[in-house]
């Protein structure tokens, strides 16, 4: 095992390739071998490890000492430097055994808690800024996406914590969004030109089911946008409060559907037209930042890839669209899927381990599993400056 050295953020080819020798984690952390790690291709420097794997240099380190060390690394910007260079960090052998300890660890980096607005996926709170990662069934994969890539309001950093590990499967595939952009531009420059000009269009459907309903992995109108709704509110008051919450997302439009005597409020469909690529704030590199691969693969699985885009239950489940409403040609999406498969790391889990990703530069997914796998997630924004 080699000691990790820290320094101020540097992006030169030579120094980025020597990241493990640059930042000093004092005596707390050291680099370790991690089987699932891969080497990132261009535009990253040669031998850039993805994810970088770190572990405490002592097996006897206390939780308090661990937290204080992370706080120091956060204050000095050193952890951000490693993330800029590698995109993701896998922390092993941390000894974290509860959601509360994970919350302390995640909070120590010094970032600002991310507020969900219109989250389409159910998450159960376990501790401060810690919730379940995804409550979908273990037999179903989650396809590659940037966290909240279908919203203008997305976190900068995502941490996953293994509360209990699977018996088989359950890996968290991660792929680099900068690499994905570069490879797509090399092979289909006309696609990147088109998608940067038009953006991409999403639609999310929220049924009006009871606010306490937990039978679905998805969320309802009131679970996503009804935090200010009272039981005593009229239908019009409820609708106004829901729409006020949606309007916090400046690019959102919406419509109410399926209103009836039994469902006077109606179900809700929200639309977003967003950029498909974004510049990484620290490096200036372009990244393929969106959820279109996930949409495309879900449509294939649902048998709704072609018009009228209805799944086996007769519900609308379209693939990925350009911002003007035209479908993104399948050949472009097929290439994106292949690039992800060729460059990804399949992060495998041990209880107590943590994966930290730079959401601007890394997409993540989930493989099916057997056994008691349970991941918790913690989402963070850059700290606000006054």
pLDDT, residue 217, reads 67
User: According to the model, what pLDDT value does residue 27 have?
Assistant: 60
- pLDDT value for 385: 60
pLDDT at res. 13? 39
pLDDT at 330: 97
Return the pLDDT at 211: 78
Angle, CA 354 vertex, CA 351 and CA 357 arms, to 5°: 150
pLDDT given at position 219: 85
Say how far apart CA 263 and CA 257 lie, in whole Å. 10
Omega cis (within 30) before 196: no
Give me the residues paired with residue 54 across strands.
31, 91
Q: What is the pTM of this model?
A: 0.92
Q: Looking at residue 18, what is its pLDDT?
A: 45
Residue 18: burial class (beta carbons within 10 Å; 0-12, 13-18, 19+): middle
With left for phi above 0 and alpha for psi between -120 and 50, is residue 284 left, alpha or beta? left
Q: Report the DSSP pairing between strands 88-91 and 354-358.
A: antiparallel
Give me the pLDDT at residue 81, please: 92
Q: Using CA atoms, how far apart are residues 286 and 102, in angstroms rounded to an integer?
A: 32
How many angstroms separate the Cα of 356 from the Cα of each of 220, 230, 282?
A: 29, 37, 17
- Confidence (pLDDT) at 136: 86
The reported pLDDT for the residue numbered 115 is 95
* Burial zone of 187 (CB within 10 Å; 0-12 exposed, 13-18 middle, 19+ buried): middle
For residue range 153-171, what is the model confidence (pLDDT) as tens digits? 999 999 999 999 999 999 9
Stretches in the chain below the pLDDT threshold 50: 1-19, 22-23, 25-26, 386
């Amino acid at each position: 095992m080699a000691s990790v050295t820290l320094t101020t953020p540097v992006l030169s080819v030579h120094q980025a390739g020597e990241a493990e020798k640059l930042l000093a984690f004092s005596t707390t952390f050291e680099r370790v071998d991690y089987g699932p790690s891969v080497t990132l291709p261009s535009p990253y420097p040669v031998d850039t490890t993805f994810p970088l794997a770190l572990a405490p240099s002592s097996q006897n380190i206390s939780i308090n000492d661990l937290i204080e060390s992370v706080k120091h690394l956060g204050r000095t910007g050193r952890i951000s430097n490693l993330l800029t260079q590698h995109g993701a960090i896998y922390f092993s052998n941390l000894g974290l055994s509860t959601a509360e300890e994970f919350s302390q660890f995640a909070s120590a980096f010094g970032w600002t808690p991310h507020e969900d607005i219109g989250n389409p996926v159910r998450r159960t709170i376990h501790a401060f800024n810690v919730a379940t990662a995804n409550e979908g069934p273990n037999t179903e994969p989650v396809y590659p996406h940037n966290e909240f890539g279908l919203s203008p309001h997305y976190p900068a950093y995502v941490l996953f914590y293994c509360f209990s590990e699977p018996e088989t499967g359950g890996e968290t595939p991660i792929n680099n969004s900068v690499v994905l952009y570069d490879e797509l531009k090399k092979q289909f420059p006309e696609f990147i030109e088109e998608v940067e000009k038009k953006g991409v269009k999403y639609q999310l459907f929220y049924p009006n089911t009871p606010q306490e309903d937990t039978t679905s992995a998805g969320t309802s109108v009131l679970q996503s946008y009804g935090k200010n709704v009272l039981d005593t509110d009229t239908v019009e008051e409820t609708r106004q409060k829901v729409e006020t919450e949606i309007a916090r997302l400046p690019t959102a439009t919406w419509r109410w559907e399926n209103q009836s005597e039994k469902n006077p409020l109606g179900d809700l469909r929200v639309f977003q037209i967003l950029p498909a690529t974004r510049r990484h704030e620290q490096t200036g590199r372009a990244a393929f930042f969106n959820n279109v691969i996930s949409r495309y693969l879900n449509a294939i699985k649902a048998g709704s890839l072609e018009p009228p885009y209805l799944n086996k239950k007769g519900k609308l489940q379209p693939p990925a669209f350009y911002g003007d409403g035209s479908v993104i040609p399948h050949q472009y999406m097929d290439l994106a899927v292949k690039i992800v498969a060729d460059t990804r790391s399949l992060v495998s889990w041990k209880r107590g381990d943590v994966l930290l990703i730079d959401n601007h530069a890394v997409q993540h997914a989930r493989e099916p599993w057997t056994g008691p796998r349970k991941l918790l997630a913690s989402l963070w924004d850059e700290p606000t400056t006054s």
